[in-house]
Amino acid sequence: MDEIKNIPEFIALIKKYESITKEDIEGIDISVIADDNGSNIFEFDAHHIMYKLTGYGYSSSCTLCKSIDRNCTICVYPRTNQYTDLDCFFCTHGENSDTYYAIGEAETIHSLLKAITLRAAHMRDLCKRLNIQIN
């Protein structure tokens, strides 16, 4: 396995996740759609909110991916024998998938905050297993 190159960015992302508040989420512009009567309906879009807050959802905006030029072989996320294709994003597969997708699938501010908390805890657990110190 190649040397991990994005540890500082990984730690910063954990801290970012842990610092996100209800007010941060409410401060993000959300999609506005019109119903059949022409009234505005505000659509909660967790994926868009987290993209705005952290770059979530796209390798071109993810702070972890950008810091390693999208080279998954040097990312902090552990690789397993099951996922060895270099085009595969290990952060969204295997043990990492539940917490990753829970963020994008959240339907309320409360469920998004819970998903963010679980993702940060999962990331902290990965740090412990990889002997990465977080100050």
Q: What is the pLDDT of residues 60-96, one digit of tens each?
A: 999 999 999 988 888 888 654 455 554 567 888 888 9
pLDDT at 81: 44
Which SS3 state, helix, strand or coil, does residue 91 take? helix
- CA separation, residue 88 to residues 69, 79, 81 (Å): 14, 10, 12
Mean pLDDT, range 31-48, rounded to an integer: 68
- The C-alpha angle 126, 111, 109, rounded to 5 degrees, equals 120
10 Å Cβ neighbour count for 1? 7
- CA separation, residue 90 to residues 1, 79, 102 (Å): 13, 6, 16
Mean pLDDT of the chain: 85
Calpha distance 25→36 (Å, rounded): 28
Tokens linked to 71: 């080279």
pLDDT at 28: 86
pLDDT at 75: 87
pLDDT at 44: 79
